[in-house]
Amino acid sequence: MFKLFDLTLKLNGFPIVKAKAEFDKIISFSEEQHRVFIENKKEEIVEYHLENNPFYKELIGSKKINNWNDLPILTKKNLQKPLAERLSKDCETKSVFVNKTSGSSGDPFIFAKDKYCHAITWASIIYRFSWYKINFNTSFQARFYGIPLDFIGNKKERIKDFLSNRFRFTIFDLSDVVLEKVLVKFKAKKFDYINGYTSSVVLFAKFLQTKNIILKEICPTLKVCMVTSEMLFDEDKILMERQFGIPVVNEYGASELDLIAFQNQNGEWQINSETLFVEILDEDNNVLPYGKEGRVVITSLYNKAHPFIRYDIGDIGILDEKSTVQKPLLKQLIGRTNDVAILPSGKKSPGLTFYYVTKSIIEDDGNVKEFIIKQTKINAFEIDYVSEKELHLEQISKIEEAISLYLEPNLNFIFTRKNSLERSNRGKLKQFKSMI
């Protein structure tokens, strides 16, 4: 079998064969062996950056480090300085993998991975996708992602798509006319799986629902759909599985790290404990027990080019009580720390609570395709939505009643019908945004 994807990684200097061999060894460990492995890797990565990374050394300063919990929490604000000032001494930008975060948290920055770290990241992704019989060398992907619109950036991405055996549907315009063309491609091409931003794939499922079409019936080769980057709600997952006729898998990742959690065949959101170490911390940086809600803080165990040690990714989550060191499970991902609504009573509420409560009413009859919520003042919110017809007063009043019940009364809302919603330059839809 010709392995074009693996070959592309090798030609770019990423030692994928060595990385896959190490990854296979890690997943064969017993629970106790894995615990020892994690402790050794944590110690090793900290020692490496203290010796080789001036940026990390400066972050530690004169603080005495007696144990893991004494290490500082690294934030995105810490990383907003030139990459050259954050790289380890033996690394140059030409010899490492360099990329930029999406900026969905509001704090974009450029990061680097050494070539071995990037290779083992891919070994991790390849392993998880193989749970669903997806092979990056042979499986054909239908990709619902953004794409650079400038000529050079666009062509580079198209070449990458070709080498990665995928066909990209651009998601900046997902009107019915465009989705009709997407449907034609599914009839003509033998796609093995769908991968893309949640909101875009949900829109496609809703389009199929209006046509009363099951996607697998017109594209029998389809096996699975992986969605990423945005919240996946239970009712959307049910809709997608019904209209696609295949399982829908929820992934949670970060470009600067790896896949953080990936839904396994038992429906559990299994955390990557091979290349990452994930902690849940309270506001005072204390480690919380399983089952408690807190900040998601992650250590990259392999990245020697750039430190991501106790890195606050900006999300709020809960680890399941059934978690072990070898198999941690993400019980719930609640949202981003900067997507919190502060209400007149002083109450703080995750912005996605508004989105969730509103969603249960607003999409009831299938009229509204998608919507976003913005907090403009302490007591004022704007809801922009795309729909076939305008919301009527009864629906608006139901939404306001539900929010009064679940959050608090006397909040003001402005509803605006739009032709399309504002997305990031990568095509992501930010479902809730606080502007105060």
Q: Please provide the CATH number assigned to the domain covering 4-334.
A: 3.40.50.12780
**Cα separation values, 166 from 8, 192, 248, Å:** 14, 10, 18
Mean pLDDT for 186-214 is: 94
Mean pLDDT of 4-13: 88
Say which amino acid occupies 275. Answer: T
Q: Within its chain, how far is the Cα of 355 from the centroid?
A: 18
SS3 state at 427: coil
Q: How far apart are CA 197 and CA 185, in angstroms?
A: 19
Contacts of 277 (CB under 8 A, 6+ apart): 38, 41, 42, 298, 299, 301
Task: Examine domains 4-334 and 340-434 and report if their fold is the same.
Answer: no
How sure is the predictor about 406, in pLDDT bands with cuts at 50, 70 and 90? confident
Superfamily the domain 340-434 falls into: ANL, C-terminal domain (3.30.300.30)
Highest mean pLDDT among 30-34, 251-255, 311-315: 30-34
What is the pLDDT averaged over residues 24-45? 98
Span 112-131, pLDDT tens digits: 999 999 999 999 999 999 99
| 221 pLDDT higher than 60 | yes
pLDDT, mean over the chain: 90
Per DSSP bridges, beta strands 141-145 and 193-197 are parallel
Which residues is 297 bridged to in the sheet? 279, 312
Four-residue CA torsion sign, 306, 19, 135, 231? negative
Residue 105 pLDDT exceeds 60: no
Instruction: Name, in order, each residue with C-beta under 8 angstroms of 214's C-beta and a sequence gap of 6 or more.
Output: 208, 242, 243, 244, 245
Whether residue 29 has pLDDT greater than 70? yes
pLDDT at 103 over 60: no
- How far apart CA 135 and CA 318 sit, in angstroms, is 31
Residue 178: both structure tokens together: 């465009």
d(CA 168, CA 141): 8
Model confidence over 418-434: pLDDT tens digits?
A: 988 887 766 677 888 88
Q: What is the pTM of this model?
A: 0.83
Average pLDDT over residues 345-355: 78
Domain ranges in the chain are 4-334, 340-434
pLDDT single digits (tens) 244-296: 999 999 999 988 999 999 999 999 999 999 999 999 999 999 999 999 999 99
The pLDDT of residue 104 is above 60:
no
Mean pLDDT of 154-159: 84
Mean pLDDT, to the nearest integer, of 394-402? 89
Q: What does the pLDDT read at residue 416?
A: 94
Residue 159 or 29, more confident: 29
DSSP string, 203-257: HHHHHHHHHT--HHHH-TT--EEEEESS---HHHHHHHHHHHSS-EEEEEEETTT
Whether 334 shows a pLDDT value over 90: the answer reads no
Which of 58-62, 292-296, 347-351, 427-431 has the highest mean predicted lDDT (pLDDT)? 292-296
**How many angstroms separate the CA atoms of 300 and 310, rounded?**
8
Using DSSP, state whether 28 is helix, strand or coil.
coil
Q: What six digits make up the tokens of 204?
A: 């496609």
In this structure, are strands 340-342 and 348-350 parallel, antiparallel, or unpaired?
antiparallel
**What does each C-alpha distance from 234 to 240, 249, 291 come to in angstroms?**
10, 12, 20
pLDDT at 407 over 90: no
Q: Which pLDDT value is given to residue 162?
A: 86
User: If pLDDT is split at 50, 70 and 90, which confidence band does 323 have?
Assistant: very high
> Taking 60 as the threshold, does the pLDDT of residue 369 lie above it?
yes
